[in-house]
Amino acid sequence: MAIIEIKGLEKTYQVYQKKEGLRSSLRGLFSREYKQVKAVQGIDLQIEQGEFVAFLGPNGAGKTTTLKLLSGVIHPTSGTATVLGYTPWQRDNEYRRRFALVMGNKNQLWWDLPAQESFRLHQQIYRIEADVFQNTLDELTDLLDLQDLLQQPVRELSLGERMKMELTAALLHSPEVLFLDEPTIGLDVVAQHNIQQFLKYYQQKRKITILLTSHYMKDVAALCKRVVIIADGLIKYDGSLEGIIKSTDQRKLITLQFRDAIDDSLLAALKKFGNVTDVETPRIKLTVTRDVVPRMLSTILDGYQVDDVVVEDPPLEDVIATVFSEVTAGRVQQIDDDEFESIGDGQGL
């Protein structure tokens, strides 16, 4: 069952073009020039109940605009969308009680008050019964380790603690759909990991549907099996994370730990298979194409004493950066997951 269904959704902004100089500013009071900016250009998307989907794209791709449309913050120029059977921009009160939006760069909690006070306000807004509210709050604060911070003014909390409070506020009314826009932006590694673990556990336990935008690929790798990539307001890829890695980057990173020191003959033999990136004798790292990995390992293991071998994919950040640069340059057309897998199969991956 599709919880989120989007058909031909478009959003165009009219942006005032202000020219430099006093005379141009005065002229602009009576006659203005505008530019049409298409933030979203007729996207189609379906998300099933209980899915945890990554919504990725370069800056200005249309990610946040799409989330704002789905949460009813803005109206579309054309197209349709339903979430839980509701049209978001009609802003039905019943729909508002069934979803939540968390934006990493915006606060919904009162800055000078303890988070506990904002939580009580949310209880009244969403009309949560007292016992249900307290049980939910206890569960969330226990999972996020916030018990000792509820009475502390929000402005005195660290960035990671504030984000945990924002997530708590968003989940107090037990939404069925959660939109997350850069929830780990600016957080340190420990805070990112804690929020990742919480979201993974909570989503699996409650089976809620989550649409996540993030520039931290560790968020995506840890939480999402399905990836949707948008660029220039158009969806360029919709499928598995593994599929885009296999189809986009044909490299493998290999680390070899030799028993003896690396001599010139060994180095020359390795260079025949790929690009040597680091040498710290007796360890060496090189980058090769996927199709030569079996042949290279067979040759090296037969001719030299090797204590350890590590074969891995390039960092996910590098793969996604390559995809972003290609879709921005227009070198990647819209391809579905089946086509990506067939491309990979055809290249002997």
Query: Is 54 in the same domain as 72?
Result: yes
Residue 348 has pLDDT above 60, yes or no: no
321 belongs to a structural domain: no
150 belongs to a structural domain: yes
Q: Count Cβ atoms below 10 Å from residue 114 Cβ, excluding itself.
A: 19
Residue 335 has pLDDT above 50, yes or no: no
Helix axis angle for 115-126 and 159-171, nearest 10°, is 20
Domain limits at 268? Answer: 250-312
Residue 316 has pLDDT above 70, yes or no: yes
Domain boundary among 244, 269, 285: 244
Q: Give residues with Cβ within 8 angstroms of 109, minimum separation 6.
A: 115, 118, 154, 162, 165, 166, 169
Query: Is 78 in the same domain as 213?
Result: yes
Render pLDDT for 44-59 as a digit per residue (tens, 0 to 9). 999 999 999 999 988 8
Domain boundary among 195, 224, 244: 244
Query: Is 169 in the same domain as 285?
Result: no
Render pLDDT for 254-304 as a digit per residue (tens, 0 to 9). 999 988 888 888 888 888 888 888 888 889 999 888 888 898 888 888 888
Query: Is 235 in the same domain as 116?
Result: yes
Q: How many CA atoms lie within 13 A of 203 on its CB side?
A: 23
Q: How many CA atoms lie within 13 A of 87 on its CB side?
A: 9
Render pLDDT for 210-227 as a digit per residue (tens, 0 to 9). 999 988 888 888 899 899
* Number of domains observed in the structure of the chain: 2
Give the Cα separation of 63 and 70 in Å (integer): 11
Query: Is 57 in the same domain as 192?
Result: yes
pLDDT of amino acid 341: 37
Handedness of CA 73, 98, 142, 52 (dihedral sign): negative
Query: Is 10 in the same domain as 119?
Result: yes
For 59, list phi and psi in degrees, rounded to 5. Answer: -60, 135
Query: Is 276 in the same domain as 234?
Result: no
Domain boundary among 188, 214, 244: 244
Phi-psi category of residue 49: left, alpha or beta, with phi > 0 → left and psi -120 to 50 → alpha:
beta
pLDDT of amino acid 215: 84
62 belongs to a structural domain: yes
Query: Is 222 in the same domain as 259?
Result: no
Query: Is 6 in the same domain as 95?
Result: yes
Query: Is 271 in the same domain as 300?
Result: yes
Nearest to 320 by CA among 221, 252, 234: 221
Query: Is 175 in the same domain as 37?
Result: yes
pLDDT of amino acid 328: 64
333 belongs to a structural domain: no
319 belongs to a structural domain: no
Query: Is 261 in the same domain as 283?
Result: yes
CATH number at residue 15: 3.40.50.300
Average pLDDT over residues 175-182: 94
7 belongs to a structural domain: yes
Average pLDDT score over the chain: 86
Residue given tokens 């919480």 in the structure block: 198
Helix axis angle for 130-144 and 115-126, nearest 10°, is 140
Render pLDDT for 102-135 as a digit per residue (tens, 0 to 9). 988 788 899 999 999 999 999 999 999 999 999 9
328 belongs to a structural domain: no
87 belongs to a structural domain: yes
CATH number at residue 271: 3.30.70.1150
Evaluate if pTM is beyond 0.75.
yes
Give the Cα separation of 113 and 93 in Å (integer): 27
